Amino acid sequence: MALGITQILIGTLEISFGLVVAIAENATRFYSSATHVGTPYWLGILYIISGSLSVAAAKNPKVPLVKGMLAMNVLSSVASGAAVVMRSLVISHSRYSSRCTYVTEIPPDICYEYVTIPYTVTYAISAFLMIGTVLEFLITITTAAFGCASVCRDAYSETTIVIFRQTDEGIIPASALPRQSNEEVPA
């Protein structure tokens, strides 16, 4: 259940910080490919759905719900893996090569305010989102492994429990005792 709650939290943070990156990139008019395709938004939605299904499956472990949680976590792990690659490329090959030294028509103080600060904010948040995406990748793989361990097996072992009750005559199996009704007795 804790992993599901963590997934929901990471999904919410992904969407929130994705909005901040979009606003900062809009200010500089330079767009990274990861935000342009909406990576923070669809990843955040996937993480929230995966986390919600994980929490629901932890509270009510029915086979169809666990299978749905398993499928959603596998889908989220594939999406997280793709996002890790995309974010790595965005962070390593920054498109913000236009620094204030290259811009001649804007005064340096205005350039610093409109180019350098949004670039720094975008770079820092992209690094934070990268850490969150790697964490989510590990969480979805772990949750999918737990789900598969409970659902993906050929046979379920049946455990038979025999209850014995000690009486004065010796040990009598519970099945030989007279049945007690569960009806309410008036007081």
Per-position pLDDT tens, the chain of length 187: 889 999 999 999 999 988 887 777 665 555 555 555 688 899 999 999 999 999 999 998 888 999 999 999 999 999 999 999 988 887 776 654 455 656 567 676 776 666 667 777 778 888 899 999 999 999 999 999 988 888 877 666 666 666 666 666 666 565 666 666 555 555 5
> Which pLDDT score is estimated for 89?
83
> Which pLDDT score is estimated for 133?
94
> Which pLDDT score is estimated for 48?
96
CA dist., res. 112 & res. 19, Å (int): 22
11 is written with which tokens?
């999904």
Is the pTM of the predicted complex or chain greater than 0.75?
Answer: no
CA dist., res. 173 & res. 165, Å (int): 6
What is the SS3 string spanning 60-116? CCCHHHHHHHHHHHHHHHHHHHHHHHHHHHHHHCCCCCCCCCCCCCCCHHHHHHHHH
